[in-house]
Amino acid sequence: MAEAIVGSGPAQHSLKRVIGRKVLLLFVVGDILGAGIYALVGKVAGYVGGALWLPFLVAFVLAALTASAYAELVGKYPQAAGAALYANKAFNIPFVTFIVAFAVLMSGITSASAAARAFGGKYLAEFVTMPVVVGAFIFLGIVALVNFAGISESIRVNVVLTIIEAFGLLVIIAIGVYALLSGDGEPARALEFHPANGAFLGVLGGTALAFYALLGFEDSVNLAEEAKDPQRDYPRALFGGLVVAALIYMAVAFTATMLVDTETLESSTGPLLEVVKVAGFAFPPKLFALIALLAVGNTALINMIMASRLVYGMARQGIVPKVFAAVHPTRSTPWVAIVFTIGIAAVLVATGDVSNLADTTVLLLLCVFALVNVAVLILRKDVVEHWHYRAPSWMPVLGTVACLVLALPVTGRGGDVYIRAGVLVAVGVVLWFVNRLFLAGRGDSGGASERQEPS
C-alpha cells in the first residue's frame, strides 16, 4: 500500500461519507451531460454528415472499455486520488504518479475553463451583454462558492442542474417524436453517411470529438472517500450513467439531423437552438438558452469539484505539499485546493478559447485513460480482502488501444492542441522538481515524521 504523508494539522479533518447510490448515479449522468452535447453535436456532423449518431455510439463503446478499468480500481482502492493513486500503486514511480495526477488535474480545469468561456458567450448574450471573460470570471466565482459550501450542498446543486439539463435534452427528443408523428423533418437524413475524409477517418474524427461529450465518468472516482458504499455503488452508477447518457445523446443527435440540415448544424455555435427554432410546437428559445447555460454551468461545477478533490488526494499521498490537504473545520471541504484550482482556471479563461481548451482536455485524458487501462492489469497481482468489481481482461486491453488511436493526429486534431498539452505537461515537470527541491530544503526526501496508511 502506498503511504500517505500526514501532519498534525491539515489532514486531521476527514471527508464525510454522505453520497448514496442514487445521488452518485445522478452525479455521473450530470457530469457526462452538459456542455459537450449542447455545443458539439453540430461539429460532429461535419465529420460524418447526417449519421452523426454513429460517432456517439462508437464513443460510448470505447468509453465503456475504460470505465470498466475505473470500476475495478475504485472498488479496490476507494480513495480520492483516482488515476494518480492507480499509477502510484501500479508503477511505483513518483515522477510518473505526479505527471498523471497533474494531467488529470489540468484536464478537469481546462474543461471547466472551456465551459466558463461558453457560459460567458452567446448563450449569456441572449440575456445580457458583457465581455466573455467578465461573464466567465463571475461564473467561476459562483462555482467556487458552491464548491466551498460543502459536498452535500454541491451535490444538491448538481442534482438540480442535472435535472434541468436533462430536461432540455428531453425537450429536443420530444421535438423529434412530435416531428416523426406529424410527418415533419427528414428522418432519412439520419442515415446519410458522408464522411469528409473517408469512412474510417471520418468516423474516427467524429468519435474523437464525440468522446469529449462523454467525458466525466472518470470524475466521480475522486468522490470515492465521500461515497457510502463505493465498492458496490460505483460500478452500477458508472455503467448506468454511461448508458443513460449514450441513449439521450443518440436520440438528440437523431432529432437534430432530422430537423436541421448538416451545413446549418455544423456552422452554428448553438446547434440545439437551431432545432428549437424549427420545432413543430412552440418552445421559447430564451428559455432553452437558459437551460443550456445551466447545463454548461453544471459541467464546470463538477469538473471543479473533481479538480479540488484530486489536489486534496495528491496532498494526502505526499505528491504535492500537504497544505493542499487542508480541510475546512466547519464546511469539511478542501478549501486550499479549491482556491488553487479556481486560480488556475481563471488564468486559462483569460488566455484560451472554448474549442482549444476542449481539445486539450480530450488529449490529456486519452493519455491518462491508456495508462489506467494498463494499471488495472498490472494491479491484478494486488489482492485486497474486500469484494470489488473485476473487469473482463479484454476490456482494458481494448481500452488501451482505443485511447492511443484516438490520441493520434489522424483524428484531425490540430497541432496547436498537441503544443498546448505539451506545455502543460512541461509545467508539471517543473512543478515536480520545485516540489522536490522544497522537500530537500526542509531535509525531507518525501517522508515525514508521522506516516500512516491512507484511510
Q: Specify the DSSP element, H or E, that contains 5.
A: strand 4-5
- Mean pLDDT on 220-230: 71
User: pLDDT tens across 172-204, in order?
Assistant: 999 999 988 888 878 888 888 877 677 778 888
Is the confidence at residue 446, as pLDDT, over 60?
Answer: no
Name the β-bridge partners of 451. Answer: 5
Tell me the C-alpha to C-alpha distance, in Å, between residue 99 and each of 9, 83, 102, 105, 319: 26, 10, 5, 10, 10
Question: Which residue did the predictor score with more confidence, 453 or 417?
Answer: 417
Give the integer Cα–Cα distance in Å for 260 and 256: 6
Report the candidate in 67, 10, 56 with the shortest Cα–Cα distance to residue 208: 56
CA atoms within 13 A on the CB side of 27: 31
Give the integer Cα–Cα distance in Å for 133 and 145: 19
Instruction: Determine contact, residues 316/11, Cβ cutoff 8 Å.
Output: yes
- The pLDDT value recorded for residue 150 is 66
Q: Any idea which residue has 423533418 for its cell?
A: 185
Instruction: Determine contact, residues 31/302, Cβ cutoff 8 Å.
Output: yes
Give the integer Cα–Cα distance in Å for 357 and 168: 24
- The pLDDT value recorded for residue 17 is 66
Amino acid (1-letter code) at residue 58: V
C-alpha cell at 160: 438540480
Residue 126 CB: number of other CB atoms within 10 A? 17
Q: Any idea which residue has 424549427 for its cell?
A: 278
Name the β-bridge partners of 5. Answer: 451
Range of the domain at 33: 4-452
- Mean pLDDT on 353-361: 79
Tell me the C-alpha to C-alpha distance, in Å, between residue 408 and each of 76, 201, 355, 403, 412: 31, 11, 18, 9, 9
What string of DSSP letters covers 352-381? Answer: --HHHHHHHHHHHHHHHHHHHHHHHHHGGG
User: pLDDT tens across 19-33, in order?
Assistant: 767 778 877 887 787
Give the integer Cα–Cα distance in Å for 50 and 48: 7
Report the candidate in 221, 214, 211 with the shortest Cα–Cα distance to residue 70: 221
The total number of structural domains in the chain stands at: 1
Name the β-bridge partners of 4. Answer: 452
Q: How far does CA 410 lie from the centroid of its chain?
A: 23
Question: Which residue did the predictor score with more confidence, 111 or 6?
Answer: 111
Q: What is the CATH number of the domain that holds 244?
A: 1.20.1740.10
Is the confidence at residue 225, as pLDDT, over 80?
Answer: no
Alpha helices, H only, 14-52: 21-32, 35-48
pTM: 0.80
User: Which range has the top average pLDDT, 5-9, 233-237, 328-332, 389-393?
Assistant: 389-393
- The pLDDT value recorded for residue 222 is 64
